[in-house]
Amino acid sequence: MASSSIPTVDLSPFFNEEGDEHWRRKAIETIARACAEYGFFQIMNHGMSSDMMNKALQLSKTFFQYPPEEKLKSSPGSGAPLPAGYSKHPDHSPDKNEYLVVLPPGSSFNVYPENPPELRSVIEEVFSHLVRIGSLLESIINDCLGLPPNFLKEYNHDRSWDFITALRYFPATERDTNGITEHEDGNCITFVFQDEVGGLEVRKDWEWIPVVPAEGKIVVNIADVIQVLSNKKFKSATHRVVRSKGRSRYSFAFFYNLHGDKWVEPLSQFTTEIGESPKYRGFLYKEYQQLRVRNKTHPPSRPEDVIHITHYAIET
C-alpha cells in the first residue's frame, strides 16, 4: 500500500550559512528516498514567499478569464524553440486547458500579455526565484547521487532552455475529467505550485496519490534526464491532473531544463564503475524533445506509439 501523501522537505537549513548540518543531512536523506521511491516530493521554506506565489496565480487567473480575442493577442511568434506565449490544448478542445509559456527573461521570443499590467514582472520574478531553487535542488540531488561536487552544475550550466508555464484547466465535464493524461516529464527537474482546487496526482506502486495543495509549498518532480543519468536509480515520476467539476484549476509549472545540444546517457558512476549495464542508449537531448513535441502536434493513433523515454531503453 502506497503512502497517502508525498514527502515534504524543509529547505531552510540550506539558506542559513550556519544551518544545522544534522537537518541538512536529514533533508538530503529524505530527498534521496523520495527520488528513488516516488520521483515526487514537496518543499517548504524554499526562498519564495507565499504572497508572491499567490499573486502570480491571481494574475494568471485574471489573464485567463479575459475574452479569447484579448488572450490571442499574445499568441506565439515563429522561430522559438518552444511556442512562447498563449495557446490552447493541442487538440483545441474548448473545455480542456490553456497555457501561457514564458522563456527566460530577456528572450527575444517571449510574447507577453499587455494585461494585466503586472503579470510580466511577476512571472519574471517567479522565474528568477525558481532558477535559484532549481540550482539548489540540482546541487542536493548531486549529493544524493554521490556524484563529484558540482558535477550536475557543470553538466547543466546553460539556463537558456528553462521555461515556465501558467496553466488553466477548465472544469470537468460529464464525459471527461482528464486534465493531462498520465505522463513523465522530459526535462531535469519540474516545479509546480497550484491553487486550492488541486487535481495533481502521482502514481506509486500502481496507486494514484493526490498531491494536496498547501500554502507556500512547491511540488518537485524528477524527470527523464535525471532518470537516464542515474541509470534509473532515481525515478522520473508518473503523474496526471484530474479536473474538478464546477471549478477551473490554476497552476504554474517551471521546467529546469537541459540545453538541446547536450548528450544524455547513463553516467559511468552508475554503470561501468559498479559493474552495471546501461539501461538506456545515449541520445541528443533536442532530438528527444522533438519526438515529444510530435506526440502533441501529431498524436499517434495508438497510445502505445506515443514516444516516452522507453524509446531509448535497452532491452535486457
Segment holding 230, helix H or strand E = none
**pLDDT band at residue 262, thresholds of 50, 70 and 90?**
very high
pLDDT in tens, 154-198: 999 999 999 999 999 998 877 777 777 888 999 999 999 999 999
Q: Options 2.60.120.330, 3.40.50.720, 3.90.45.10, 2.40.128.30; which CATH number does 8-312 get?
A: 2.60.120.330
Question: pLDDT value at position 307?
Answer: 77
Q: How far is CA 111 from CA 84, 104, 192, 212, 259, in A?
A: 6, 12, 22, 32, 21
pLDDT in tens, 98-123: 999 999 999 999 999 999 999 999 99
Three-state DSSP at 60 gives: helix
Question: pLDDT value at position 2?
Answer: 47
Do 97 and 170 touch, CB atoms closer than 8 A? yes
Q: What is the pTM of this model?
A: 0.93
Beta bridge partners of 251: 167, 194
Q: Where are the domains of the chain?
A: 8-312
DSSP-assigned letter for residue 244:
P
Question: pLDDT value at position 19?
Answer: 65
| pLDDT at 297 exceeding the cut of 80 | no
- Give the span between the Cα atoms of 70 and 137, in whole angstroms: 37
What would the mean pLDDT of 123-135 be, rounded to a whole number?
98
Beta bridge partners of 44: 10
In this structure, the number of other CB atoms found within 10 A of the CB of residue 40 comes to 26
What would the mean pLDDT of 54-79 be, rounded to a whole number?
93
**Residue 24: Cβ-neighbour burial (10 angstroms; 0-12, 13-18, 19+):** middle
Across the chain, mean pLDDT equals 90
Question: pLDDT value at position 48?
Answer: 97
What would the mean pLDDT of 45-54 be, rounded to a whole number?
96
Please report how the helices 21-37 and 119-144 are oriented relative to each other, as an axis angle in degrees rounded to 10: 90
| Lowest mean per-residue pLDDT among 45-54, 85-94, 208-217 | 85-94
- Give the span between the Cα atoms of 192 and 40, in whole angstroms: 11
Question: pLDDT value at position 4?
Answer: 61
Q: Which of 243, 236, 131 is nearest to 198 (CA)?
A: 243
| pLDDT at 1 exceeding the cut of 50 | no
Question: pLDDT value at position 9?
Answer: 96
**pLDDT band at residue 88, thresholds of 50, 70 and 90?**
confident
What would the mean pLDDT of 278-291 be, rounded to a whole number?
95
Segment holding 163, helix H or strand E = strand 163-169
